[in-house]
Structure 1
Amino acid sequence: MQKCNTNCVEKPLSKGFKKLGRIVGKYPWVFFVLPMIISAGFGVGFYFLNDREANDIEEQFTPKNGPAKSERAFIKENFPQSEQFSSLRLYTEGTFASLIAVHPINILNLDSFEELVKLDHKVKQIRVNDSKLTFSDLCAKENGECVLNPILDLMNASINDNTLIDFPWHGREFIGTAIGGVSTYSNNTIQSAQAIRMFYYLKEDQKNETDLWLKKFIQTLSEDANLNMISVSYFTSISRAEEFETNPQTVIPLFSVTYFLAITFSIVSCIRLDCVRNKVWVATFGVLSAGLAVLTSFGLLLFCGMPFVMTVASSPFLILGIGVDDMFIMISCWQKTNVRDEVEDRMAETYQEAAVSITITTLTNVLAFYIGLMTPFGSVQSFCMYTGTAILFCYIYNITFFGAFLALNGRREGSNRHWLTFRKVETPNSDNKGNACSVGGAYDHQTGAEEEMPINVFFKKYYGPFLTKPWTKVFVILIYLGYLAGSIYGCFQMQEGIDLKNLAPDDSYVASYYDNEDRYFSEYGPFVMLVIKNENFQYWEESAQANLNTCLNKFVSSNMVATNMTISWLGSYISYGNGLGLNLTDEKGFMENLPLFLLLSGLRQDVNISNGKILASRIFIPTVNIITAIDEKNMLNFFRETASTCGQNMDLMVYHPAFIFYDQYAVVVSNTIQNIVVATVAMLVISLLLIPHPLCSLWVTFAIASVIVGVAGFMALWNVNLDSISMINLIICIGFSVDFSAHISYAFVSSEKRTANEQAIDAIYKLGYPIIQGAVSTLVGVVALSAAKSYIFRTFFKIMFLVISFGALHGIMFIPIFLTLFGCCSDSSSVQDEKDQTENGQNRSSKMQMSGKSQQSHPNCSTGSDCS
C-alpha cells in the first residue's frame, strides 16, 4: 500500500526551522537579549491598564447585537424619561439604592418597624459633595416630591391602627415587590411577612453626585447599624460593576502560588542526575519565557486600545501552562541530539524536529481563540484576543528567547561546567563512565543522545503491553461507553445564561442581596412592556380593540403571567369614557378626549402623541414565578413569539430592561456551536497541511468531538452553565483536543512496527510521558484558581480541568485502543517493505543511528505534540 505524500508544507517548513536553529545556536546572545528589550518596551503599555479596563457588565456579558438593545432604543425615542418619575416605565434599571430587611418570623411588628424607620432616616441623611447634598437633593421626583417608600406608611397603619394590607395590590399601589415571604388570609390581606424591600431612586442627570451618594450608601449599610430585630442586605445600581472590578484582586495572590508551582514542577520534571546536563536553569527560563510573552502581548494590546476585561485575568494561567508544554517539547528534542556535536548542529536538529511540532499546536490554539472573536460577547472577544496574541508571542519567544538560552546552556554543557557553580567538572573516561558530578552518566555512549527517563521505559515495557491486552481493551471500551453516556446525559441537563450574582465575589454583599431577593421576592417578576408600534392602528375601532384584547388574552393565558393585573391605558380610557358617556368610537371623539384623560390618570407616559396622532403606545403585562434561568429564557421566548404571531396588524414589540441580559439565552448556544464547527474545520486543515498523513484528520475529528461532548456534559453535572464564560473554555477545548490527539494518531500510523498493538505501544512509548508532562504543567498553571472566591475563575479551573483530563485520557488510553481496532490506519506493510529494502543494502539504519532520529517516523523526540 502506497503511503500518501502530504508533507509538501511540513518538509520545507522543517528545513526552514533547521536553518533558524543554526542561526540561533550561532548568535544566542542576540536572540536572548532582543526579546527582553522588546518586552520592556511593550511592557510600558501596562501604564494604560486603568484606561483600558472595561467593566461595563452589559457591554461585556450581553450580545452586542441583541434585539433588546434595539427595542430599548425604540422605547427611549418614543417614551422618553419624564419629569414625573415612574420606576415601572424606566427603559433602563435606573439609578437607585435598595435594601432588604428580613425577620425570621414576621417583620410586621413594632420593633422591626422602629428599626426600619431608624434605618430609613439614616439613609436619607447621607451627605456627599462636602456634605452639601443629601438624598432630598438627588432623589427622583414625582409632582415635585421625592419618590419614597409607601411601605413604611402601610406598616405604620397596620401595626398601630390594625389596618389590613391588601396583597399584591393595595389600592392603586403594587406592593408585590416591596413585601416578601407573605402569607395571606382568604381575602388576600396580609397575615404575616418576612421581608421588606425599599428603593431609593435618584436623578439620572447628576451621575457624578449620585455615584458618590451610592458609594456612601454602601459604606453606611456595611457599618454596624445596631439592628437587633432585622437583618439587612443592600444593593445599588453600581454594585455589580464595582464588585465585578474587585474580582481580579481575589486572584492576584494566586499568581505567585501558580508560578511557584509551575516553576517547581518544571524544575522537578527536568532534573537529571548528571550535574552538567541538569536542566534546572532551562526549566526556569522556560517559565520566564511565558511570562515575557504575557508582558509583551498584553502591553501591545493595551497600547492599541484593546479593552481589558476582567476575564482576561485568567489568561496568564493558561499561557503559563502552554508555554511550559512547548518548553518540554524543545527540551525533549534537544535531548535526542548528539551531545558530542557542536551547539549549532544540535540546535539545527532540535529546531528541525521541535519547531514544526510547536507550530502545529500554536496554530491550532491561536486560530481557536481568534475564531472566538466571531462571538457577540465583548468578554469573549477580549479574552480571545489577549489569549490568542499571548500564545502567539509565547511561540515566538520559545523559538527565540528560550531557544537562545537552550543554546547558551548547551555551550555550558559542552565545556563540562556544573549547572550551579559553572565550574568545570571531571571528564569521564573508559574506567569512569560518569557519576552525579561528572558529564557522561546521563547519555548513551553509542548514539550520543541523553538517556531516557525511567517513566519512558515504564510506558514501553509495562503500560503499553498492559493496555493492548484483549481484556484490557474490552475494559477500556466499557469505560469509554460509560464516559460517553455520562457526557450525553450531562448535555441534556445543561442550563444557559450567567447568573448576575456570579459576577461578584462569593463574599460580596451583592450575593446576600440576590439570595434574599430569590428567597422572598421571586413570586412576582417584571412588568413587561407590550408596545404597539403601528402608528396607523385604529385604537377607536371595536374590531381593533377586539384584536388587541385577543392578543392580551394569549399573554394572560400563560402560567407566567398574572391575571387581572395588566396595566392598560386603553382599557382605562374606555372605562373612563363609558362612565362619562363619551363617544370614543370615532377618531375625532377618541383623540379629543384622550389628552385630558392621560393627564388625570397619570398615564401620559404610556402614549406617544404627535400632531394629533398616536405614534406608539404601551401596555404593561405582569409576570410571575420567574425564578430560574430557564424561567427567564422561556418567558422571553414566549413573549416575543406571542407578540410576533398575534400582532401582525399591530406591529407589537415586548421589552423590559432585564431583556438586555436575557438576550444571551437566544445566542449563546448557536454561537458556541458556530465557533466549535468553524474552529474544528480550521484544525482539520492545519492537521492535513502539517501532519503528513490524511487519516490522522479522521481521528483528530473524533477526538475533538469526543472531548467537547465530554467537557460540555460534565461541566453541566459540575453546576457550570453554558454562558459567555464557559463558551471561552469550550473554545479552548478544540486546541487542546488537537494537542493530545493529532500526534498520537500520527505516531501510530507512521510507526515502523509490524502489528497494530506494537504500533500502539510504540506511540505511547514516544508520547506517554510528554503528554503527562504537558497535562500536569497546564493543570499546575490553573489549579490555584480552584481556591478563587470568584465564580468566573473557578469556572475557568473546572473546565480546564475537564479539558486537560479528558484530552490526556484520550491521548494515552482511548485513541491508542481505538487505533488498534482499525488496521486500515496502519501502514505496517509499507513500512516493512522499506525496512526490507534497508536490510538489503541501503544502510539507512546506520544513518539513523548516527543522526539519532528516524527518517521514516518523525516523532522520535519524546514530545507532547510530537515532532511531525
Structure 2
Amino acid sequence: MEDNEQEEHHGCFFRMRTSLQIFIKQLTRTVTSVVVKHPKRTIGIYLIVFVIALLGLTQMEARKNNDIADLFTPSNSESHDEKDLYNEYFKPSDDSFNIIAVPTSSGRTFNTNGWLELLDMEKELMNLKVDEHSYDDICSKMMDGSCLHLSPFLFFNWNKEEIRMTADKVATICDHEKNYLPFYLMFGQSGSVTVANCKEKDGLSQASALSIVFGVSFDHYNKTLPHHWIKEAEKIVKKYQDSSQYWSLFYMSSYGTSNEVERGTMQTITKLGVSILLVVIMLIFSFYEESVLMSVLLALTAIVCVVLACGMGLGLSMWVFLPWTTITAVIFFLALGLGVDNMVLITIMFYREDKTLPLEKRIVRGAADASLFNTMSTLTTILAFISGVNSSFKGIRTFCLSSALVMTCVFVTAFTFFIAVLTLTMRAYEARQAKRRKGRKHRRHHKAVEDGEGNDVITVFYRKYVSKLFLSTTVRVVIILVFLGLLAYSVYLITTIKQGIMPEDAVPEDSFLTAYLGEARVHFKEKIAELDVVFYNTTFYRSTRRSLVSEMITELKNVSYILPQYENPWELFDSYLEENNVNPDNASGASFLYYLLMCVRAKPRIVENLALNMTTMALPASKVKFAIDPVAVNEMELGEKTLKEMRKIIAKYTDEYGVYIQAKSYSTMYPYYEMVGITFRETVINLFTSALVVTLVLFLLLPPGPSLTAVISVVLADVCILAWVPFTGLNLNAISSTCMVMSVGIAVDFSAHITHAFVETDGAALSGAQRAAKAVTKMGRSLTTSALTTFLSVLMLSTVTVPSNRMFFTMMTGVVIFGMLFGMLFLPSVLSFLNPSYVKPVVVQSPVTPVPQGEEADRLERTRAQGVRRHHRRHHSRKPEEKEKKPEEKEKKEEKKEKEEEKVEKKVEEKEEKPEEKKVEKVEAISDSSEDDFRDALSDSSESTVQTGAPEIPHTPREIEMVPMTRPPHRTPIPAEEEATPRSESSPVSPKPTIKPSPSTALKKFRRPRDLEKEEEERVAEEKAEEEEKEKEKTENTSLLDYLWSIWGSRNA
C-alpha cells in the first residue's frame, strides 16, 4: 500500500494512467446516463444513422473485386510492372472461353465419332447469337484480321466430310498450312509433345486431350454482350457434358470465374444463420440469471446489435470506396464472435450490481465497470486490424480496414443501442415482476459471493478446479515447462511452412474452375505455366543485337524448372536466312524488313511472337516463349527459385548491354511466386507491429511490468498459432497472414483481462498463487464465454466448400485454443512468481457511487496536502523582485481602504451635527404606515407589563422603542448598536413586548426600510469589488500551470 501511495505522489505515468481510466469511466457514465434517460430517442437516432450508412451497400455491385491475382498477390511487386509491359506490346484478349475435352476412353483422342460430336458442339458455339450478334462480332482479332479461335478442327476447316475421309489425322494436321500454331495450345500430352511434333509424329499421336479457345473482345461492345454470350455458351457445353459418350468436358472463362467467386461468397453467407443460432444458444446460458425469457431476449438483442453494427460498418466501407472481395463475407462471422463479447460483459456487470439500487443506476454502473475491459479489448483489436494496412496485399488491406470499421460500429452500438434496448427491456420485466411478487417473498435468492464473483456453472468450475492448480508451486512449474516444450516444437514446425495460394482456392470445390485447372495441369502443362521474355527498345535490324538475344536465350533455357522446349522468333528468322543462303549481315539495316516479311510469309508461326505493326512497318518488341515445369507450378518455393534466376540473368545482360538491349520476363505465375518471398516477411512484420501497438495500449491501462508480461504471453501464443499453419496442412498466404494479424487482437483479450484482474487483486494478505487463483476465477466466466462464442461463430465456416473461407475456421480455432491456454494457464503461472504490486481499482465517484466507509477522510487529507503543495509552490517559489513588490502593493491597498473609511466617518459626523429640530421633523415625516405602527405599538404596550420586573412607567410616544421586524435571510446583519436593543422572539409586535426606558435620542437610530436596503446594496457592491480585486491579484501572481493544476485538484476533490 505504501508503494502504491508513493507511486501516486511521485509517478507521473501512474497519474496519467489513472486519469485516463477515470476519463473512460466518466465518459461512459455520461453517455449511458443520457441513453438511460432517453432510450427511445437514442434508438431513433441510431436507426437514422444506420439507414444512412446502409445506403453505402447499394454501391456493392460497383465495388466488387473478385480478381484473385489482384487481391492476394503483392500489389507493389515487380511482376505488376512486367505484366503492364507485356500487355503494352502483346495485348491479350479481354476474356476467353476455354474448353478442354478429355476422352472417356484413354488413347482415343483422334476417334472419328468423338471428333464429329465435338465438332457439332463447336459449330453450335460459332453460330450462337446474342441480341442478333454472333461470335464474329465480339471475337478478339489476330494480326491477319481473323478471330482468335484456336481449335483442332482448324486443320480440317470445320468440315465433317473431311474428318470422316481422313484416316491419318496427325499427317493432315502437320501438312496443313497453319501448322505453325503451337500444338500445346490444342493438344494435350501424355509424354513430351512439342512444337516439332510434325517431325516426331508419334508424340502428337499420343496427345491425351483437346483444347478449344474462343477469344472475346470488349472493344466494339461493352462487357454486357460478351458476358451474355459466355453465359449462353456455358449452357451449351453443360448440355453436351451431360449427354456425351466420348468426352468429359471442362470449361472456364474470366467472367465465369468471377461468378464462381461470387457463388462461393453467397454460399458462405448462407451459413451465417446457423452460426447465429449457435451463438444465441451460447448467450442464453451466459445471460441466464433470473428467467429463461429474459436470457432469450437479451441474447437476441445482442445478436441484433451485432448484425446492425455489421451492416453499418460494411456500408461505411462502401462509402469510403473499399472494395467488396471474396473474403468480405467472413467479417460477419468474426464480428459475431468478437463483437458480442461487449454486450456479454455489460450484461454480466449489470447483474453483479446491488439489486437494491434503481434500475437506471445499475445499468449506468454496470456499463462503467465494463467500459475499461471493453475499451481495452476493442481498441487492441481495432489497432491490430489497422496494422494490416501496411501489407502489400490488397486483399489484406481491404479486409483489415473493413473489419476495423465494423468493430468500431460494434463498440458504439454496445454503449448506445444495446444500453437503450436493455433499459426498456428491464423496465418492463421488473415492472411485471413487481406486480407478481407483491405481497410475497422472492422465489429466487442469490448467494452473495465476495469480489463480485457469481455462482454460475463456469465460475464454480474455475473456483473449484482450475484455480486450485495455481496454489501448488510444483504444478505451476510443470505448466511453465510444458509451455516451453510446446514453444520449442512450434519453432520446429515454423521451419517447415509452405507458402502460396492457387486461383481455385477462392472458388467452391465443386466449381468448374477447379475441375478445369486440374485437367489443364495434367494435360496442358506448358499452356498453364507459360513464361515470356519480352525484348523492347532493341534495334532488331542489327545482326549483332539479334545475336545478343540468342546468347541470352541460351543461358535462360538452362534456368531451373524451365522446360527445354521454347519458341525464339529470331532462330526461325536465322533459319530462313540460312535456307535461302542469305548472310545475316546482309539482312540488316534497310533490307531487314524485306527479309522479315518474306520470313513471315514462309514461316507464319513467327508472327505470334512479334509486335509487328503492318501499317507503320515498325517492330517495337518481340518475345521468346518458355514453359515452366509443372513441378514448379505446384510448389511455389521452386517457382520462386525460377523467377529469381530468370531476373538475375536478364538483369546481368541489361546492365552490361542496356544501351542496345532491354528485356523483362513475365508469367501469370509470377505474382504467386512473389507472394512466397513477401508473405512470411510481412507476416512477421505485421505481428511485431501489432504487438507494439498493443503494448502501448496496455501501458496506458496497466502498469508497465504486468503489461510487458501480457504482451510476451501474446507473442508466444502467436508463435504457436503460426506453427498451427503447417500442423493443419495449410499454406502461409495472404489469407492465413490476415488471420495472424487478427490473432494479436484476439489473443490479447485473454492475457490483458487476466493481467488486469491480477493486479487489482489485493496482495497485502494474499500470495502470488492466491492472487492468480482469484484472477482466473474472476475472469473465467467472461473469457470462456468469449472463447466459445468466437469458436461457435466461425464453426459453420468449416462446412463451406471455398478453401479460402474454410481457412478462416482452421486459423480461428488455433487462435482460440492457444489464446485461452496462454491466457488462462501460462500467464497466471508466470504472474504468480513475479507477483507484481497491487493497483487499487480506479473508482469514479458520482451521485450513483457511494464513497466507501473511512475513505472520505483520506480523500480530504489528500486534497488538503495538494492545496498545501500548491500554496508552497505559489508563495515560496517567487522571484526576489516579486517578494519585494508584494508589501508595497499591500500598503497601497491599506492606505486606500483607510481613506474610504475616513470618508464614511465624515458623512456620519455631518449627519449627527445637524439640529435636533430637523431630526424631529424627519421623524414626523415618516410615512403613514409608520405612524400606524407607532399607534399599534402604543395600544399593545398599554396592556403589557414589564417582563424584567421593572416598575411600570408612563408611556409616551417619545419613550417607546419599536421592536425591530424579523430580518429576511438575505439581509445584512443589524449593526451592533441595534443588536443591543431587546427584541421579541415571536412576532414583529409581541403581545407581551419588553418595555424599557429609553433616552430622548433613541429615535435617531430608527431608519426607514428603503434606507436600509440602499445601504445594504452599497455594502454588497463594495464587498464584491474587493473580492474581484483579490481574485485579480491572485491570478496575476499564479502561473497558468498552477492555476490549471488547482482547478484539476478541486475537480478531483
Q: How many residues are paired up?
A: 804
One-letter amino acid of the structure 2 residue matched with residue 764 of structure 1: V
The residue matched to 2:525 in structure 1 has which SS?
coil
Residue 442 (str. 1) matches residue 446 (str. 2):
yes
Task: Tell me the SS of whatever aligns to 2:416.
Answer: helix
Counterpart contact for 1:606–1:619, Cα < 8 Å? no
Cα shift readout 1:27-86 (whole Å, capped 9, x = no counterpart): 333334322332234333333333333334444334333323322332333x254xxxxx
Matched, 1:179 2:187: yes
Q: Is 1:391 the equivalent of 2:394?
A: no
> How far is the alpha carbon of 1:329 from its aligned partner?
1.2
Cα separation, partners in 2 of 1:150 and 1:299, compared to 1, 3 Å = closer
Matched AA of 2:721: V
* Alignment partner, residue 87 of structure 1: none
Structure 1 residue 778 corresponds to structure 2 residue 790: yes
Q: Which amino acid aligns with 2:168?
A: D
TM-score (norm: length of structure 2): 0.70
* 2:283 and 2:295 in contact (8 A); partners too: no
Return closer, same or farther for 1:114/1:468 CA change in 2, 3 Å cut-off.
farther
1:731 aligns with: 741
- Looking at structure 2, the residues matched to 716 and 612 of structure 1 have their Cα atoms a distance apart, in angstroms, of 56
Paired residues of 1:493 and 1:717 also in contact (CA < 8 A): no
Distance 1:400 1:248, change over 3 A: same
Query: Aligned to 1:393, what secondary structure does the other structure show?
Result: helix
Matches within 5 A, 1:232-631: 232-272=249-289, 274-275=290-291, 278-412=294-428, 415=431, 417-418=432-433, 423-426=435-438, 432=441, 434-436=442-444, 441-442=445-446, 444=448, 451-473=454-476, 475-477=478-480, 479-522=482-525, 526-535=529-538, 539-541=542-544, 547-563=548-564, 565-585=565-585, 588=589, 591=592, 593=594, 595-597=596-598, 599-600=600-601, 601-602=603-604, 603=606, 606=610, 615-625=620-630, 626-630=632-636, 631=638
Task: Name the aligned partner's letter for residue 268 of structure 1.
Answer: F
Percent identity over paired residues: 20
Is 1:189 the counterpart of 2:214? The answer is no
Listed one character per residue, the Cα deviations across residues 135-157 of structure 1 (whole Å, up to 9, x for unaligned) are: 68736456454455453477969
Matches of 1:495 and 1:617, distance apart in 2: 36
Cα 1:456–1:447 shift into 2, 3 Å: closer
Bigger mean CA offset, 105-114 vs 169-178: 169-178
State the Cα distance separating 1:556 from its structure 2 match.
1.4
Determine which of 9, 17, 22 is the counterpart of 2:20. Answer: 9
Aligned-pair distance for 1:465? 0.8
Change (3 A) 1:402 1:514: same
Match of 2:38 in 1: 27
CA displacement, residues 80-126 of structure 1 (integer Å, 9 cap, x when unaligned): 54xxxxxxxx4x67533323323342133344333333333333333
Which amino acid letter does the alignment assign opposite residue 694 of structure 1?
A: P
Contact 1:157–1:163 (8 Å) recurs in 2: no
Structure 1 position 761 matched with structure 2 position 753: no
Alpha-carbon distance in structure 1 between the residues aligned to 2:183 and 2:104 = 18
Any idea what the Cα deviations from partners look like across 1:351-401, whole Å, max 9, x if unmatched?
A: 332112111111111122223233333332332222211110110111111
814, 818, 831: which one pairs with 1:802? 814
Opposite residue 402 of structure 1, the aligned amino acid is: F
Query: Counterparts of 2:77 and 2:259 in 1: how far apart (Å)?
Result: 24
Query: Could you tell me how far apart the structure 2 residues matched to 1:288 and 1:392 are?
Result: 16
The question of whether the paired residues in 2 share the 8 Å contact of 1:181 and 1:193 is answered with yes
Q: Is the 8 A contact 2:725 2:731 kept in 1?
A: yes
Over the aligned positions, Cα root-mean-square deviation in angstroms equals 3.6
Deviation string 1:173-214 (CA, Å, 9 cap, x unpaired) is: 432343335247996723644322222223452444332221
Q: How far did 1:326 drift?
A: 0.9
Offset, 1:286: 1.8
Cα distance in 1 for partners of 2:202, 2:668 equals 31
Measured in 2, the distance between the counterparts of 1:262 and 1:513 equals 38
Instruction: Determine the C-alpha separation between the residues in 2 that align with 1:801 and 1:14.
Output: 33
Structure 1, unpaired ranges of 5+: 82-89, 832-842, 849-868
1:95 is paired with a residue whose SS is strand
- Whichever residue aligns with residue 751 of structure 2, its letter is S
Alignment pair present for 1:212 and 2:235: no
1:701 equivalenced with 2:681 (yes/no): no
- When residues 354 and 136 of structure 1 are mapped into structure 2, their CA distance, relative to the original with a 3 A threshold, is closer
Three-state SS of the structure 1 residue aligned to 2:322 is: coil
In structure 2, relative to structure 1, the CA distance for the partners of 1:223 and 1:294 (3 Å cut) is: same
Q: Identify which of structures 1 and 2 has the higher relative contact order when contacts are C-alpha pairs closer than 8 Å and 6+ apart.
A: 1
CA distance in 1: counterparts of 2:704 and 2:805, whole angstroms: 38
Counterpart contact for 2:499–2:733, Cα < 8 Å: yes
CA drift of 1:536 comes to: 6.5
Distance 1:8 1:129, change over 3 A: same
Q: Are the structure 2 counterparts of residues 133 and 173 from structure 1 closer, same or farther at C-alpha, using a change threshold of 3 Å?
A: closer
Deviation, structure 1 residue 773: 0.3
Question: Residue type of the partner of 1:176?
Answer: Y
Aligned with residue 160 of structure 1, among 142, 167, 170: 167
* Matching residue within 647, 650, 665 for 1:643: 650
The match for 2:1046 is none
Q: In structure 2, what is the Cα distance between the partners aligned to 1:847 and 1:328?
A: 32
Tell me the distance in 1 between the aligned counterparts of 2:224 and 2:597: 38
* 1:702 to 1:42, Cα distance in 2 relative to 1, 3 A: same
Q: CA 1:281 to 1:150, structure 2 compared with 1: closer, same or farther past 3 Å?
A: closer
Of 688, 694, 711, the match for 2:699: 688
Q: TM-score, normalised by structure 1?
A: 0.84
* 2:118 aligned to which of 105, 113, 116: 116
Distance 1:396 1:146, change over 3 A: closer
Tell me the distance in 2 between the aligned counterparts of 1:342 and 1:680: 42
Unaligned runs of 5+ in 2: 8-13, 157-162, 194-198, 841-850, 857-1053
| In structure 1, distance between residues paired with 2:794 and 2:121 | 44
Question: 1 CA distance for matches of 2:552 and 2:148?
Answer: 33
- Between 68-77 and 357-366, the greater mean CA deviation after superposition: 68-77
Q: Distance in 2 between matches of 1:448 and 1:425?
A: 29
Q: Does the CA contact (< 8 Å) of 2:72 and 2:734 recur in 1? A: yes
Question: What is the deviation of 1:276?
Answer: 10
1:162 to partner: Cα distance? 7.2
1:72 matched to 2:83: yes
In the alignment, what sits opposite 1:790? 802
1:812 corresponds to 2:824: yes
1:699/1:742 contact within 8 Å kept: no
State how far apart, in whole Å, the 1-side matches of 2:450 and 2:626 are.
81
Offset of residue 471 of structure 1? 4.8
For residues 736-772 of structure 1, give each alpha carbon's deviation from its aligned partner in whole angstroms, at most 9, with x where no partner exists: 0211111212322443243221121011111112111
User: Does the CA contact (< 8 Å) of 2:166 and 2:172 recur in 1?
Assistant: no
The residue type paired with residue 744 of structure 1 is I
C-alpha displacement of 1:813? 1.7
* 2:352 and 2:452 in contact (8 A); partners too: yes
Are 2:712 and 1:712 equivalent residues in the alignment?
no
